[in-house]
Structure 1
Amino acid sequence: MKRILLINTGGTISSSPTCNGLVPAFSSDSLLEQVPEVKRMCAAQAMSLMSVDSTNMQPEHWAALARAVCAGLEQYDGIVVAHGTDTMAYTAAALSFMLGSLAKPVVLTGSQQPIGRVDGDSRRNLLDAFAAACGDVAGVLVAFHGKVMKGCRVTKVRSKSFDAFESVNYPDLGYIRDGQLVRNPAAPYGNLKPLPYSDRLATEVFLLKLLPGIKPDILEAVRQLGYKGVVIEGFGLGGVPNREQGLVAGIERLTEAGICVAVTTQCLYEGSDLTVYEVGRTALAAGAIPGYDMTTEALTVKLMWALGQSSDIGTVKGIMGTNVAYEMTV
């Protein structure tokens, strides 16, 4: 029987109602008590690392979680992480890069309703996460609403419904049926490149969503605020205005100042391609890093992680252009 560690970080799944709304309250041991069926699946133990609404989750929390997971993997066959849904995609992406190459599964899950709601989704998701952690997979995964997805490919697409997450531009790794993981053979898991553990992050990354009429001065303001990287969500395939109210000159100035600028699309599916239109090519010529088909969460976190590994813009561009954990299609 496999040994699985549950790490609780808070979120809706461990929340209780108060006069100020839902607040994380359940310990990891209390969560385990809500799913006694786990005892038939594995030898489970629990630890409470933090009790945080994931809206308040910060990069330093990611690093603390990465360290706890890394230590846990030395003793256990897999890890289940109970996490809030609102920023789970960011945490899953961060762990995908920070933990390096994994031979065991790290499965994040959460819920749209607290564990105390008998008609909610928390018990199912927690049981599914344990089933995934007991399965023949490795790497950082998200188990939610019966699906098992790659951590660096998920995004939250529904604010209330139980089917809250989707795997974007990448097939689901599998699904849970009768308490067992059914693998999708068409979806590789794990990492493409051998990577050591590294939780170093440069958190000074700014996310800018373009809208018609946005003032180009915004990029100069970003530079003055001390950001080291910028992710721009452009239009369509990643187009950036290059005429009236153009931002291309600002991208070039930031790049010359050693600030990395990545450009992606505002569209959820099919990704960006800066080579198709002039408004993409001029951004590339100005030094923009293509975001390919990464989710915005994966792209921003990968840029933080890349900047944490090196301050050299050429090295960072090389890391950003390397498919590390199937986070992008190139």
Structure 2
Amino acid sequence: MATQYPEGHVLIIMTGGTICMKSSPEGLIPATGFLSQGMAPRPSFNDGSMPEPLPVMTDSTTKKYLSSLRTPPSTYSRHVRYTLYEFPVLLDSSSISSEGWTQIATTIQNNYSLFDGFVILHGTDSLAYTSSALSFMLSHLGKPVILTGSQASIFALQSDAVDNLLGSLIIAGTFMIPEVCLFFHHRLFRGNRTTKVSASSFDAFASPNCEPLAKISAMGAEVNWALVRRPRSIARFDVLRNLDTTHVACLRIFPGIKPEMIDSVLRVPGLRGLILETFGAGNAPSGEDGSLTAIFKAAVSRGIVIVNVSQCQSGSVTPLYAPATILGNAGVVFGHDLTTEAALTKLSFLLALPDISYDDITHQMQASIRGEMTESSHMQFSHPSSELPTLLDAQVAFTALGYAIARGDVDAVKAMVHGDQFGLLEAKDYAENTVLHLAAVGPDTRVLRELLLHGASVHVRNRAKNTPLFLATQVGNSEAVAILTEVGAHLHSEELEWNGNCKRSRTGEVKEAS
């Protein structure tokens, strides 16, 4: 009998791009049947098992069952089962706008409870912009959303498409990295820290001010869990749909620029924000007799948010030199190490929020809300509790935490997960239970809340394919069920089927998840 490996379910959303194109007499054109023609013939994408179709929500009310494929077992003794949803009208990445971003975000939202992760195929021209935009549009995200594309079509003889797509698929179906990411040339980046650096090289994207979240090698994926951001609030996944960049402009300062040029941009009807790309650490000419500075000050007085970012790929805008300080005194916001792509989409996101003041916007533009800028570090000193055991390694630490959870010892749990130097939130026991699985059946739901507030994932499943919510349901822990549901946990199809077959009526048991 063949070994039964666990599998992650991934939805590939095909929006367009070079990756899915094929040659024609008229040049490259989008290829239909990408799953059957581009992926099924390749052994790395298809183990030949011919699995059943998977359900996909094509809109908020319409469910279709689409053909699925399964990868061979990965380095992690795990399959990735996936299907592909192709947009009816493919998007041109060089012409993409907020409407296209909303279409992608809505597709993820409609299918959020059906899949463990999402891979978005996208053209490379605006890939960094879309990655940044989605990072702000998807709030309280608890699952991986990975954007990728390629410099050459998957049907080309020499292409980066297979490596980019397979790497994205394996990571999305294996690791619960709850961020919007961009995967390219064996590296997984935080999406809102990326920029395109080459129009032809396979190594086309960089993240100058933030290390990759993961790297792929012959040994597998090396995830830098210390960099991975997690949701740290009790809230459900949600989508902001009305992000719109048409109210924000981007202007690059150059030697000899005339103040009238900048003033004309700042007086465009309906303009609410400007991303100003300046020299070095944020320097710009002040203009004759300070005329340019006066223009900025006047625009700020009219309620226009001006954000100062550097033209340099690496570095940060700070009040290091007098010209940058002069801009700051005029009301221009320091963008620190934001990329232009992140600054543009972040400001558009903030301007779309209801009931937000000008001061709130300028404050949040200078603070990290999705890991888009490097936060200032502060030294923290604390003394370890004398009651806690000396933790020699990760396994000992995980065992000690498990006992603390079983005792309902909230203080001990707090002390052990604060800083989390051993990666305890990702650790698993012999049955692949995480600490949240243990807390879901533990005696004190305060422990459950504490773990959630430190970023523990409600979506990781154990070896039996069960979520923490399922375990809480089975033991009748109604308070834990309520907390997990509040943060966006849901039962997967196998768990719903099991509940339906058993037809239990235990108090507090959940029959289905929305």
Q: TM-score, normalised by structure 2?
A: 0.61
State whether structure 2 residue 269 is matched by structure 1 residue 230. no
CA contact (8 A) 2:105 2:239 kept: no
State whether structure 2 residue 30 is matched by structure 1 residue 24. yes
Q: If you compute each CA radius of gyration, which structure gives the higher value, 1 or 2?
A: 2
Residue 248 of structure 1 deviates from its aligned partner by 1.6
Summarize the Cα distance change of 1:192–1:283 in structure 2 as closer, same or farther, 3 Å threshold: farther
Q: 2:293 aligns with which of 218, 236, 248?
A: 248
Letter matched to residue 182 of structure 2: V
Question: Paired residue for 2:180?
Answer: 140
CA contact (8 A) 2:266 2:274 kept: no
Residue 314 of structure 1 deviates from its aligned partner by 1.4
Question: Paired residue for 1:44?
Answer: 82
CA contact (8 A) 1:8 1:27 kept: no
Question: Separation in 2 of the partners of 1:83 and 1:20?
Answer: 21
Summarize the Cα distance change of 1:35–1:205 in structure 2 as closer, same or farther, 3 Å threshold: farther
Secondary structure (helix, strand or coil) at the match of 1:261 reads: strand
Question: Paired residue for 1:312?
Answer: 357
Question: Paired residue for 2:160?
Answer: 121
Equivalent residues in 2 for 1:38-117, closer than 5 Å: 38=45, 39=70, 40=72, 41-49=79-87, 50-117=89-156
Question: Paired residue for 1:268?
Answer: 313
CA contact (8 A) 1:139 1:191 kept: no
Cα deviation, 1:228-253, whole Å, max 9, x if unaligned, reads: 11000011101121143852211111
Structure number with higher relative contact order (C-alpha < 8 Å, ≥ 6 residues apart): 1
Question: Paired residue for 1:303?
Answer: 347
Question: Paired residue for 1:257?
Answer: 302
Question: Separation in 1 of the partners of 2:219 and 2:131?
Answer: 23
Letter matched to residue 201 of structure 1: L
CA contact (8 A) 1:103 1:139 kept: yes
Letter matched to residue 257 of structure 1: R
Question: Separation in 2 of the partners of 1:85 and 1:27?
Answer: 21
Deviates more, 1:214-223 or 1:113-122: 214-223
State percent identity of aligned pairs: 33
Question: Separation in 2 of the partners of 1:97 and 1:180?
Answer: 30
Deviates more, 1:144-153 or 1:15-24: 15-24
Deviates more, 1:189-198 or 1:316-325: 189-198
Residue 178 of structure 1 deviates from its aligned partner by 4.4
CA contact (8 A) 1:109 1:129 kept: yes
CA contact (8 A) 1:140 1:190 kept: no
Residue 327 of structure 1 deviates from its aligned partner by 0.6
Letter matched to residue 37 of structure 1: S
Q: 1:199 aligns with which of 241, 259, 279?
A: 241
Secondary structure (helix, strand or coil) at the match of 2:128 reads: helix
Residue 126 of structure 1 deviates from its aligned partner by 0.5
Question: Separation in 2 of the partners of 1:290 and 1:190?
Answer: 26
Letter matched to residue 259 of structure 1: I
Deviates more, 1:153-162 or 1:198-207: 198-207
- Listed as ranges, the gaps of 5+ residues in structure 1 are none
Question: Separation in 1 of the partners of 2:231 and 2:200?
Answer: 32
Summarize the Cα distance change of 1:21–1:210 in structure 2 as closer, same or farther, 3 Å threshold: farther
Summarize the Cα distance change of 1:265–1:11 in structure 2 as closer, same or farther, 3 Å threshold: same
Q: 1:287 aligns with which of 327, 331, 334?
A: 331
CA contact (8 A) 1:112 1:122 kept: yes
CA contact (8 A) 1:135 1:181 kept: no
Letter matched to residue 62 of structure 1: W
Residue 123 of structure 1 deviates from its aligned partner by 0.9
Residue 196 of structure 1 deviates from its aligned partner by 4.7
Letter matched to residue 262 of structure 2: L
Question: Separation in 1 of the partners of 2:195 and 2:231?
Answer: 19
CA contact (8 A) 1:14 1:27 kept: no
Deviates more, 1:51-60 or 1:155-164: 51-60
CA contact (8 A) 1:99 1:196 kept: yes
Question: Separation in 1 of the partners of 2:127 and 2:311?
Answer: 20
Question: Separation in 2 of the partners of 1:242 and 1:198?
Answer: 38
Q: TM-score, normalised by structure 1?
A: 0.93
CA contact (8 A) 2:109 2:238 kept: no
Question: Separation in 2 of the partners of 1:89 and 1:120?
Answer: 20
Letter matched to residue 274 of structure 2: V
Question: Separation in 2 of the partners of 1:202 and 1:110?
Answer: 24
Secondary structure (helix, strand or coil) at the match of 1:123 reads: helix
Secondary structure (helix, strand or coil) at the match of 1:299 reads: helix
Residue 322 of structure 1 deviates from its aligned partner by 2.4
Question: Paired residue for 1:166?
Answer: 206
Residue 42 of structure 1 deviates from its aligned partner by 1.1
Deviates more, 1:214-223 or 1:160-169: 214-223
Summarize the Cα distance change of 1:110–1:326 in structure 2 as closer, same or farther, 3 Å threshold: same
Secondary structure (helix, strand or coil) at the match of 2:285 reads: coil
Deviates more, 1:129-138 or 1:204-213: 129-138
Question: Paired residue for 1:177?
Answer: 217
Letter matched to residue 2 of structure 1: G
- Normalized per residue, the structure richer in strand is 1
Secondary structure (helix, strand or coil) at the match of 2:341 reads: helix
Question: Paired residue for 2:372?
Answer: 327
CA contact (8 A) 1:35 1:123 kept: no
Cα deviation, 1:296-321, whole Å, max 9, x if unaligned, reads: 10111101111111463212112212
Letter matched to residue 285 of structure 1: N
Cα deviation, 1:10-47, whole Å, max 9, x if unaligned, reads: 01101123444323334553444354523223110110
Deviates more, 1:80-89 or 1:14-23: 14-23
CA contact (8 A) 1:152 1:298 kept: yes
Question: Separation in 1 of the partners of 2:308 and 2:20?
Answer: 36
Question: Separation in 2 of the partners of 1:264 and 1:181?
Answer: 33
CA contact (8 A) 2:275 2:306 kept: yes
RMSD: 2.0
- Listed as ranges, the gaps of 5+ residues in structure 2 are 1-6, 46-69, 73-78, 376-514
State whether structure 2 residue 257 is matched by structure 1 residue 211. no
